[in-house]
Amino acid sequence: SGQHRVPRAAAQLLAPVGDPQKVICVGLNYRDHCQEQAARVPEVPIIFSKFPSAIAGPFDDIVHPQDTSELDWEVELAAVIGKRGRHIQEAEALEHVLGFTVANDVSARDWQTRNGRQWLLGKTFDTFCPLGPAIVTREAVPDVHNLWIRCSVNGQRMQDSSTRHLIFGVPALIAWVSRFVTLVPGDILLTGTPAGVGFFRKPPVFLKRGDEVQCEIEELGTICNRVV
């Protein structure tokens, strides 16, 4: 209607899903990301998680923990579940998706490689999952597996790829995860990151306080977070 509008600058956008039951993540799910670290392409999805307390808004700050010196970025396509299901067939999986959004799977690499390489602690510090700027409904995205996906740090392009390089697409991931757990509305599925993370650069590059990280996906929008 055009009524009751406020300037964007006067509003703080929250994460489109703030307290999901589950935040499910996928590792090594882009072919170019496997290549940059000389890793074998997985035969089945590699699944880990973040706690919902890691979620931050699309323009909120990322808090640099004192406990890490290897803070890294990972732009990711995130699918938001809209329909409950278990043992979902791949052919019907997209019917369980409400829509898609942009995520940054912020990672403390030193903690990711400690404790027997259990990834959870390095992935789930508070503010380690900026999300947004909004959920774009599934029907509004003609082909989610053919979108450019990018990340810049302080204006320098670090990741520049396409979701067509996903090893396991969204339907395959939903079918796989739902073999083990019931997916419920609001659950978030982060689908993996492409090549260009800081950890595998030569020499490695890590985020420091004052850096600005911008993650963007075609059709879905942009999130931008400052490291503090």
State the CATH number of the domain containing residue 38.
Answer: 3.90.850.10
Give domain status of residue 126, yes or no. Answer: yes
Give domain status of residue 7, yes or no. Answer: no
| Residue-number span of the structural domain to which 183 is assigned | 16-227
- From the number of C-beta atoms within 10 Å of its C-beta (0-12, 13-18, 19+), residue 24 rates as buried
Spatial separation of the C-alpha atoms in residues 35 and 16, rounded to whole Å: 33
User: What is the domain count for the chain?
Assistant: 1
Give domain status of residue 144, yes or no. Answer: yes
Give domain status of residue 218, yes or no. Answer: yes
- Answer whether 0.85 is exceeded by the pTM: yes
Region of poorest pLDDT, from 7-11, 13-17, 86-90: 7-11
Give domain status of residue 141, yes or no. Answer: yes
Give domain status of residue 145, yes or no. Answer: yes
Task: List, for residues 76-104, the tens digit of each pLDDT value.
Answer: 999 999 999 999 999 999 999 999 999 99
Q: How high does pLDDT run on average in the chain?
A: 96
Spatial separation of the C-alpha atoms in residues 70 and 45, rounded to whole Å: 25
Residue 121, CA atoms < 13 Å, CB-side half-sphere: 12
Give domain status of residue 162, yes or no. Answer: yes
Q: Looking at the predicted structure, is the pLDDT value of residue 4 above 90?
A: no
Give domain status of residue 3, yes or no. Answer: no
